[in-house]
Structure 1
Amino acid sequence: MEQSLYIQLSEKLIEKINEMEVGELLPSERKLAEIYGVSRTTVRLALDHLEVRGYILRQHGRGSIVVDYHKSLINLSEMYSFTEQMKALGQEPSTKLIGHSIINTNEKLEKIFLNGEQKFIKLIRLRSSDGIPLMYEESFIPFSKFQDIKIKDIEKRSLYGIFKEDFNEVVKLAQEEFSADLVNEEVARQLDVSPDSAVLQIYRTTINIKNETIEYTESKADPSKFSYRTVHHNHIEY
């Protein structure tokens, strides 16, 4: 089965990467296919998996470059905590669940989760402080793992707390990417900004202690009201 083959190959490549120096190049796709006796499609899927996980960076014309895994992935025990930071500022954080649904997988989610998951729970949340909207978030979690999640708890509890306490799914690492973006009318209305305003776009992928991707979130933050940074905490509250 192609899926299990590329996962097996990615684990073998991680062993190889652990013996390499940052900046070294992995062999080409063609060479890897020859070495491991698999198709180039399997190799590409495995490399996609490794890039999402933060082990390599793929550059056109160069190939797959080994990167510093510990710098590319953020340890959640040292991650920015929206709830705790707002409390530290003497403000009252809140979460509003705007919508939730069960959706079928798509090409983007297949590439992120890489586990054959067919359905996802989509959560749309608005994060506020002292009643002022700061972040608009769309999260996707595997239906097979979290189908029994209590939607009424989403506004009251940490999502990662729910993962751990209700499903024994402990989040170990997260990978985040940042970019600038413009908001559409709906997001502008929720964030109380003008349509086409510039926002900070945050793409977040979380991985459990079994090295499985269990959440993907896209957040839009109003930069005039919100500053995103990494802080030290002894626990996770997100």
Structure 2
Amino acid sequence: MEQQASKHEQVKQHLHKEITEGNYEPGEKLPSEKRLCDYFKVSRVTVRHALQNLENDGFIYRKQGVGAFVSNQNYKSNLVRLTDFAEDMRQAGLQSSSRLIELKKVDPIKEVNEILDIRPDMKLIQVDRVRLGSGKPIAFDTTWLPPGYGQLLFDEDLTTQTIYNIIEEKYEIPINAGSYRITAANANKFISKHLKLSEGDAVLEIDRCSRTTGNKKVYFQKRYYNPTHVSYVMELSRTDESQGPSKQGLPLKEFSPRFAK
């Protein structure tokens, strides 16, 4: 079953369409957050997340205390946006779903507890899932959460919902940022079975830690991609167009996954 777009993604898509179809002129102010909340019947957290994503993608800019305005589309944003699996699949034209392997409470794991900044004796909630793109096993995820966040998942359908959706939309806990580490790994017996690989085959490992307000860690995840289905593409700008060649390195304009059909 396809994972539906989250509420903030639906709001973003609607506003994006309005902007790209010319219903708003460059420099024109968008409706206030309150009006958007009333119109879409969503929370202010949801509207703010949608606006943040539009700003990250370069479609709007915001003035503190004034509101959000439509950008001149001749300019592109230099920001890279944090996305979840369902958003990546939709952008690739694939239907996203998950196969839940296990959701359980586990003993502390020294490395994970340190990453999550929680007590070394605190137990964890662990989620193992196969992530599917149009029915094909694209990736295998193991996710660890502190009990306070992890307990929110036990009554949810993790085959059709992402952790992002549950945490952000249902409980209004914004995922503001995340750190990524990308490396090569070899699939163990457990992972290779679920990704339909041979034990020891190469996989793309992505470790990421997502954070909410106050830099509080929400979860740490290890994702193993089948490299047959995914690669990452980086777009760099050699210069700051207004300043000439940059002396501070290359601005990162895009860093995003590309999925095989």
TM over 0.5: yes
1:90 maps to: 93
1:79 and 2:82 are equivalent in the alignment:
yes
Mapped contact 1:136–1:219 kept (Cα < 8 A) = yes
Would you say 1:185 and 2:189 are equivalent positions?
Answer: yes
Task: Map 1:105-124 to 2 at 5 A.
Answer: 105-116=108-119, 118-124=122-128
**Cα offsets for 1:19-60 (capped at 9, x unmatched):** xxxxxxxxxxxxxxxxxxxxxxxxxxxxxxxxxxxxxxxxxx
RMSD: 2.2
Equivalent position of 1:163 in the other structure = 167
**Percent identity for Structure 1 against Structure 2:** 21
Relative to 1, partners in 2 of residues 1:214 and 1:189: Cα closer, same or farther, differing over 3 Å? same
Q: Aligned residue for 1:104? A: 107
Structure 2 counterpart of 1:112, which letter? I
Are the counterparts in 2 of residues 183 and 198 from structure 1 also a CA contact under 8 Å?
A: yes
Given that 2:118 and 2:146 are in contact with CA atoms closer than 8 Å, whether structure 1 keeps it comes out as no
Change in 2 beyond 3 A, CA 1:87/1:177? same
Structure 1 window deviating more from structure 2 (216-225 vs 160-169): it is 160-169
**1:154–1:228 distance in 2 versus 1, CA, 3 Å:** farther
Counterpart amino acid of 1:172?
N
Unaligned 5+ runs, structure 1: 1-74, 232-238
Q: Who is 1:129 aligned against?
A: 133
Deviation of 1:148 (Å): 3.6
Do 1:146 and 1:167's aligned partners in 2 also have CA atoms closer than 8 Å?
A: no
Offset, 1:227: 2.3
Count of residue pairs brought into register by the alignment? 157
Q: So what's the TM-score if we normalise by structure 1?
A: 0.60
Hey, what's the Cα distance between the residues in 2 that align with 1:97 and 1:88? 23
Given the superposition, is the C-alpha separation of residues 145 and 186 from structure 1 closer, same or farther in structure 2, using an over 3 Å criterion? closer
| 2:230 aligned counterpart, secondary structure | coil
Q: 1:142 aligns with which of 134, 139, 146?
A: 146
Greater relative CO (CA pairs within 8 A, separation 6+) = 1
The corresponding residue for 2:43 is: none
Quick check: 1:177–1:203 contact (8 Å CA) kept in 2?
A: yes
Q: Take 2:118 and 2:225, find their aligned partners in 1: how far apart are those partners?
A: 30
Q: Distance in 2 between matches of 1:227 and 1:82?
A: 14
**Greater helix percent: which structure?**
1
User: Do the aligned partners of 2:174 and 2:213 also contact (CA within 8 Å) in 1?
Assistant: yes
Structure 2 gaps of 5+ residues are: 1-78, 234-254, 257-261
Aligned to 1:207: 211
Q: CA shift at 1:223, angstroms?
A: 0.7
Q: Distance in 1 between matches of 2:189 and 2:150?
A: 31
CA spacing shift, 1:97–1:197, aligned 2, 3 Å: same
Write the distance in 2 (CA, Å) between the matches of 1:91 and 1:109: 31
- 2:88 is paired with a residue whose SS is helix
8 Å contact 1:96–1:125 — kept in the other structure? Answer: yes
The residue type paired with residue 97 of structure 1 is L
C-alpha deviation, 1:127, in angstroms: 0.6
